[in-house]
């Protein structure tokens, strides 16, 4: 994905429930299902949509609070929702909600899903963050903080557990350059491709075997040749299963879903 990428609109999310989408991930177990959620100020809920924008479900997340949900990841039949935003860098801690992914083909689909809260704390003070990833080699959670200097921190929660606060470990610092504030990220289903996005571009890493995710992110990435700024304020990115394309959806009403891929793919 480090060559020229073509952007194609696949549909629009025509739902009043989609007002400020700030997280997006492709289901690993259900075809053509994307999970998304709104930014701060919304109720604790998850939307299931198709790549053409059709809403499949609007589910309340019980046992969760919505302070500033910023990103979502998935693995092992679980969804991980990052309540990790902190524009004023004043929160003493942040949380990730672990949610069993609902089956949308169930005969009597529930209107809500339960969440388990995982509380996290930074070792070096409060941080604003908008990117949450799950390490396929260790099941650790990885948070990349947001810095307009392009030097966001990479933090790891190795074995977060409910009922206790897990201290994050700072694994290192990104080097993306001035103005490159990370707003989302994802790991492909096969674990080989890692992408972080900023408002205007996407950065791509190739993961080597069982290499820890934090180590991958500390290498120098390549940049996809695509201008993401054209879509509006973009804070989402969902990789395809094979890591050869990705989907985005910006904030705002009736947002367009775009697929970025190589021409001719």
Q: What is the largest CA-CA distance in the chain?
A: 51
Quickly state the pLDDT bin for 40 (edges 50, 70, 90).
Answer: confident
The DSSP letter of residue 162 is T
Q: pTM of this prediction? A: 0.97
| Cα 122 to the center of its chain, rounded Å | 19
Annotation: CATH topology of 14-244:
Neuraminidase (2.120.10)
pLDDT tens profile 239-265: 999 999 999 999 999 999 999 999 977
Q: Residues with Cβ < 8 Å from 32, sequence gap 6 or more?
A: 50, 51
pLDDT tens profile 114-127: 999 999 999 999 99
The string of DSSP codes covering 102-151 is PPTT-TT--SEEE-EEEEEE-TTS---EEEEEE-TTT--EEEEE--TTS-
* pLDDT for residue 108: 63
All structural domains of the chain with their residue ranges: 14-244
pLDDT tens profile 159-188: 999 999 999 999 999 999 999 999 999 999
Which of helix, strand or coil describes residue 97?
A: strand
255-to-10, 53, 70 alpha-carbon distances in Å:
11, 9, 17
CA distance 47 to 40: 15
């Amino acid at each position: 994905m480090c060559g020229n990428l073509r952007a194609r609109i696949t549909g629009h999310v025509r739902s009043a429930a989609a007002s400020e989408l700030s997280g997006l991930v492709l289901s690993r177990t259900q075809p053509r299902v994307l999970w998304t959620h709104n930014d701060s100020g919304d109720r604790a809920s998850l939307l299931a949509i198709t790549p053409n924008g059709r809403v499949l479900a609007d589910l309340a997340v019980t046992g969760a609070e919505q302070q500033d949900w910023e990103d979502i990841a998935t693995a092992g039949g679980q969804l991980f929702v990052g309540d990790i935003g902190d524009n004023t860098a004043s929160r003493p801690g942040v949380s990730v909600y672990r949610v069993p992914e609902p089956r949308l083909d169930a005969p009597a689909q529930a209107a809500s899903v339960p969440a388990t809260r995982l509380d996290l704390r930074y070792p070096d003070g409060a941080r604003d963050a908008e990117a949450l990833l799950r390490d396929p080699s260790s099941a650790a959670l990885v948070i990349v903080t947001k810095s307009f200097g392009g030097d966001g921190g990479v933090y790891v929660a190795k074995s977060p557990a409910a009922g206790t606060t897990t201290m994050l470990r700072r694994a290192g610092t990104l080097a993306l350059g001035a103005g490159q504030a990370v707003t989302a990220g994802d790991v492909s289903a096969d674990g080989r491709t890692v992408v972080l996005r900023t408002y205007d571009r996407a950065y791509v890493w190739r993961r080597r075997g069982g290499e820890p995710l934090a180590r991958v992110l500390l290498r120098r990435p390549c940049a996809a040749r695509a201008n993401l700024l054209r879509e509006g304020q973009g804070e989402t990115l969902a990789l395809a299963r094979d890591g050869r394309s990705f989907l985005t959806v910006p904030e705002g009403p009736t947002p367009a879903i775009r697929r970025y891929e190589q021409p001719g793919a």
